[in-house]
Amino acid sequence: MRKFLCILAMVLVCSLPAAGQQTSMKKLESQRAQLEKDIAMLNRKLEQNAKNKDAALSSLSLLKSKIQSREKLITGCDQTIRMLDDSIAVCQKEIKKLQARHDTLSLYYGRLVRGAYKNRDSRLWYMYILSSESIGQGLKRAGYLRGMSAEMSAQALRIRETSAQLEVEKERLNGLRKDAGDMRRKVVGERSKLKNEEADANKLVNQLGKDRKKFQKQLAEKNRQKEALNKKIADLIRRESQKAAKNAGKTSGKTTSTAIDTKLSNEFAANRGRLPWPVEGAIVERFGKHHHPVYTNVELPQNNGVTLAVRPGAQAKAVFNGKVSQIVVLPGYNQCVLVSHGAYFTLYSKLKSVAVKVGDSVTTGQVVGTVDSIDGEDLFHFELWNGAVPQNPEGWLRN
């Protein structure tokens, strides 16, 4: 019995997808769950905006972000379907092999049983042994009969084991087929939603195009605010870097970094791609240069970070150990907290209140402040700088 259970356990392990595929499936499942959460949040924001006639520009950004998330979700579902199809093919091959083995074992076992049946009278067995010409021959004949009996028992056990393996594989195949079917139905539903969202986006584009003056005025104001933020933060970081260099060079007369700053900088850099997100939310504005979604010939000011739609009252948290360098207030961005991490800096903006003060040391995950609702929008803006050079936060934060 113990042998049977051990073999069954080995079958279960061997029948699972390869470790690499299991990891990929789990990663896709995690990404899918996050995207669905992002889409749900964006839906709530769009419902709020529906009550505000002047929020069309904001709604378009939210809708564009939702479409991107939906497209990623569909791509992830398609990848999952391909992996499930591969697993189904492997499982079917394994079932075919097991069935062939089961048939062969059953055939051999049938022959043994028929042979034993023909000689089922125990008196024949005794006569066979007693008619031996010598004790040695008698012992050999007795051993042969015991071996035949043992072989029948062993063969019966092998058939039971193979039957159990077949049942496990067939059950797994049914599960894989169900998962693949569910995922295919999900993709059909997601594609339908995507089509509707694209139609809604086109309606908004037409609406914004009709009232060009009104929305261009809103856009111009947002652009001025963004340019002011870019200038202010670049200036603050330049001054902080100069101050650090001056303090570090007092003893040597050279511009150097202190040992602590170098250590902190190296630790920060070593965590690239593993830093936690400062808030939970969906990205609505990405890093870099972009053109306006409606007035496509208009290039928007450089976005030095990412902007996320968040739940009301969301708390912004430090992404790494550091020190609060500056706290400033800027139009459209409210309170902004700049944290230094050696040669690196992170910015947390659009805050209603801050939970730190200049000079404070902060640790990873510590609350920096609470996100504000500005013009009816719950948005959080985050930036990450390497010295005077802005970085794309998505390359530094966990995927």
Each residue's pLDDT, cut to its tens digit, for the chain (399 residues) gives 444 344 434 444 444 445 566 778 788 888 888 888 888 888 888 887 776 666 777 788 888 888 888 898 898 888 888 888 888 888 888 888 877 777 776 776 556 555 554 444 444 444 444 455 566 654 554 455 455 556 556 666 777 777 777 788 888 888 888 888 888 888 888 888 888 888 888 887 777 777 777 777 777 888 899 999 999 999 999 988 888 777 666 545 544 444 447 889 999 999 999 999 999 998 989 999 887 766 667 778 889 999 999 999 999 999 999 999 999 999 999 999 999 999 999 999 999 999 999 999 999 999 999 999 887 789 999 999 999 999 999 999 987
| Closest of 164, 141, 148 to residue 111, by C-alpha | 148
The position carrying tokens 């419902």 is: 47
Helix (H, G, I), strand (E, B) or coil at 372: coil
Residues 42, 36: Cα–Cα separation, whole Å = 10
Looking at residue 329, its amino acid is V
Which two tokens mark 369? 């402040």
In what helix (H) or strand (E) does residue 19 lie, and over which residues does it extend?
helix 19-49
Which residues have C-beta within 8 Å of that of residue 239, sequence separation ≥ 6?
none
For residue 100, report the phi and psi dihedrals to the nearest 5 degrees. -65, -40
Contact between residue 177 and residue 85 where contact means Cβ atoms under 8 Å apart:
no
Helices and strands counted in the chain (H then E): 7, 11
In sign, the C-alpha dihedral spanning 139, 141, 145, 148 is: positive
pTM of the model: 0.67
Contact 357, 338 (CB under 8 A): no
